[in-house]
Amino acid sequence: MALIMAIVLWLYAINKYTGEIEEDIQLAINTSPGLTILDTSTNVVTVSLSGPRNIIDRVSDMIKDNKIKARYDFPDMSDIQNDEFAKTIRLSRRNFNFPQEIRLDSIVPNEIDVILGRLANRYLEVQIEKKGIPALGYEITNEYFYPHEVLVTGPTNVLKEAEMINTKPIDINGLTSGQSRTFPWTVGLEQSISFLRDDKYVSVPINCEEKVNVWFQISEQQD
């Protein structure tokens, strides 16, 4: 009888002081120089954790504060010559910065498909993107911008098909002819290009540090 009571008390203590959680964690994947990520099967993984309840509670708060990371670093792949290729990565405890006292019970998914692309440089034409409309009774009758093309760094296969790069949206809402003297405006460029892959649009990061100077001619509308 005493043995049974001891086991019951032990199980009670274990349940009281042991906690379990299931949390979603954002996955960061880092490539080697000269490569970029084109697509992944997922960028979030679900982990099941157990351990001392006080530490489990602290880890739960750390995950909410983005202090717990999921990270995978690709090794050097400079010997690969393909412009685009696929890899499957497998996650384990070493890809997370959990405290030692925490047990990692599962990772879902623990295998992730990644499509990588080789980086290249190419000149693309600039396209002006506007948002809003001029003030009532006014219209943009002419626009000028410079430079007309810029050097962009991005995935080789994407740049082969890309024809232009957009500026960040320029707010023209409420413009009148009185604001003509404020030009030129210096505008940044979007740092991504979207393309269609397997019936879905994928946004791929690119890099272009150049700025574009923009002039608008704003005139009163003619009846």
Q: Has residue 12 got a pLDDT over 50?
A: no
**52 vs 38: CA distance, rounded Å:** 40
CATH number for the segment(s) 19-118: 2.170.120.30
Domain range annotation of the chain: 19-118, 119-220
| Residue-averaged pLDDT of the chain | 88
pLDDT tens for 48-100 read 999 988 889 899 999 999 999 999 999 988 777 889 999 999 999 999 999 99
Domain 119-220 in CATH 2.170.120.40: yes
Q: Are 185 and 170 in contact (CB under 8 A)?
A: yes
Model-wide pTM > 0.85: no
Pairing of strands 200-205, 130-131: unpaired
